[in-house]
Amino acid sequence: MPDDDVFLALANPVRRRLLEILVDGPLTAGDLAGRFDLSRPAVAEHLQVLRRAGLVRDEPSGRQRHYHLTAEPLADVGDWLHPFERFWHHRLRTLADFLEEDS
């Protein structure tokens, strides 16, 4: 089961968006901050939460730090969610069958 820190990190929409951005490759904190209407310190705090949860890692490069997505904790979340997907697939199939009967 994924660590609670991972779920807490994913609960925030800014942090989820940061992860979505990092899918395309590493970026500096400044580059990431430029994509939000937030202060750089606010984005840095979100990155710190993601780093503590193991969802990103930072790599120093001169005076900057590049942030990289760390996908392993997300795979753990996917594995944890898998049994619930079967529940929803069954429910959606039942709904589709019901709707087809009324047509």
Total count of residues recorded for the chain: 103
Report how many domains make up the chain: 1
Domain of residue 67: give its range: 4-102
CA gap 26, 32 in Å, rounded: 10
Q: Give me the percent of the chain exceeding a pLDDT of 70.
A: 96
| Residue reference for tokens 């705090």 | 45
Domain with residue 38: its CATH number is 1.10.10.10
Burial class (CB in 10 A: 0-12, 13-18, 19+), 15: buried
Give me the amino acid identity at 76: D
pLDDT band for 70, please (50, 70, 90 cuts): very high
Comparing C-alpha atoms, which of 60, 80, 64, 68 is closest to residue 6? 80
Q: What is the pLDDT of residue 17?
A: 97
Strands 27-28 and 56-61, sheet pairing: unpaired
More reliable by pLDDT, 102 or 58: 58
